Amino acid sequence: MRFSLYVHFPFCKSKCVYCDFCSFAADAGTIEDYCDSLMREMELTAGETPDAEIATVYFGGGTPSAVPAPLMRRVTRKLRECCQLLPDAEFTAEANPGTITDAWLDAMAEAGMNRLSVGVQAAQDRLLKLLGRIHTFTQAAEALEMARRHGIQNLSADLMYGLPTQTLDEYLNSIRAVAALDVRHISAYALKVEAGTPLETMIRKGKLPAPDEDLAADMMEAGIDLLESLGYRRYEISNFADPGYESRHNLVYWRQGYYLGLGLNAAGMLPAENGAYVRRSNTASLQEYRRLLSAGRLPIQEEILIGKNEAMFETVMLGLRTTDGVGYRDFETMHGAGLQTVYAEAIRELAAKGWLKPVNAENPRLALNPLGLAMQNAALMPFMDVHTGEAAGKGVQK
């Protein structure tokens, strides 16, 4: 059976002011101990899913490029030893321009990495400093060129908009600057001020202005227009790619494919009986993660059985994030029920609002048009209402 594989590296040289991910600064000993535990988890997971064929791999974080090259070489060799990667597997790793090195790229290229995602975020150094980034835009450009020298041509860059004090022109200039670096993929994310982050504290204390929601909406619209004019196709709410360079790994999430999650706080989705599936998440405690693996146990914190009704809603919820939407035939194959039957009223409601793309009779799909994508949360409500009051998935604490 085909799976995708996510591997989490929770280390950063320093934590950005907006970040609430499972990440932290760590010394060399902590990083090595974690990687030893991670390799043990690879062995245990391979024993649990011996027939898994890995179609995509994603090293995320945190900052995978913060792991020293010799240690990363050990990790990737263990990965190859434990997991059956398909010959054409997409292998992505995230990197911070402030930590990427030739030695690290050499180790990753040797392991089969063929796609690199670089956290650029902005082309203006003042905004990078405001965010707590440890790099300049010049360093980001150099990191992308360094990757090309190691044979990595499939390059992606992350950008952010809606930042405190950021102007519309600055955001559009960031898009132009990154596109000029000939990246194949651009992820453009709106800043979300998360509770408990340093950024939230600075805004609350008046040290920074709160993001302007109207300006952020203008940035989103103008950014979409600019990216598409530059030849990037919008294939998901926040993701744009040259044709053929969409992230295969992320499409697995949005198309409800199965995936394994390794590492601290990582998540996975595995098949269950009768069309249901199990969502699994690892502990977020480093001490508990190491303790469980030392005892020969997988570091699972929770497993949730997702039943048929919730699975159908998730198919719609995830699919409508993408510009291709949900195929009527695909939905019936997956769930044994017609999309038009289960969600007839919801589909009528969205059509009446003018939020749906026209249906192609040869390949009928339920997909949101640009207006519908801009109203994503509201567009999902009618589908959610269908299952209001029904039992949700059952959680099992580990």
Give the pLDDT confidence of 311-332 residue by residue, as tens digits: 999 999 999 999 999 999 999 9
Report which of 40, 42, 99 is spatially closest to residue 69, judged by C-alpha positions: 99
Average pLDDT over residues 216-229: 96
Is the Cβ–Cβ distance between 280 and 265 less than 8 Å? no
The C-alpha angle with vertex 315 and arms to 361 and 219, in degrees rounded to 5, equals 85
Question: Does pLDDT of 130 surpass 80?
Answer: yes
Is the Cβ–Cβ distance between 16 and 132 less than 8 Å? yes
For 23-74, how does the pLDDT look when each residue is reduced to its tens digit (9 = 90+)? 667 789 999 999 999 999 999 999 999 999 999 999 998 889 999 999 999 9
Report which of 95, 117, 87, 69 is spatially closest to residue 13, judged by C-alpha positions: 95
**CATH 3.20.20.70 intervals, the chain:** 2-252
Please tell me which residue, 193 or 9, carries the higher pLDDT value.
Answer: 9
Q: What percent of the chain has pLDDT over 90?
A: 76
SS (H, E, C) 110-164: HHCCCEEEEEEECCCHHHHHHHCCCCCHHHHHHHHHHHHHCCCCEEEEEEEECCC
pTM of the model: 0.91
| The predicted structure's pLDDT at residue 18 | 63
Q: How confident is the model at residue 196 (pLDDT cuts 50, 70, 90)?
A: confident
**Long-range CB contact pairs, 236-244, < 8 A, 24+:** 236/321, 236/322, 236/323, 237/321, 237/322, 237/373, 237/376, 238/187, 238/188, 238/189, 238/190, 239/185, 239/186, 239/187, 239/188, 240/185, 240/186, 240/187, 240/188, 241/184, 241/185, 241/186, 242/184, 242/185
Mean pLDDT over each residue of the chain, to the nearest integer:
91
CATH classification (class only), 2-252 = alpha beta
| The predicted structure's pLDDT at residue 216 | 93
Report which residue type is found at 42: M
Query: In angstroms, how far is the first alpha carbon of the chain from the final one?
Result: 26
Average pLDDT over residues 206-215: 89
Axis-axis angle for helices 213-229, 168-179 (nearest 10): 30
Question: Does pLDDT of 370 surpass 60?
Answer: yes
Question: Does pLDDT of 390 surpass 50?
Answer: no
Is the Cβ–Cβ distance between 379 and 286 less than 8 Å? no
Average pLDDT over residues 194-209: 84
Please tell me which residue, 15 or 238, carries the higher pLDDT value.
Answer: 238
Question: Does pLDDT of 19 surpass 60?
Answer: no
| The predicted structure's pLDDT at residue 210 | 87
Distance (Å, whole) CA 298 – CA 103 = 31
| The predicted structure's pLDDT at residue 14 | 63
Question: Does pLDDT of 395 surpass 50?
Answer: no
For 282-308, how does the pLDDT look when each residue is reduced to its tens digit (9 = 90+)? 999 999 999 999 999 999 999 999 988
Report which of 344, 343, 347 is spatially closest to residue 309, judged by C-alpha positions: 343
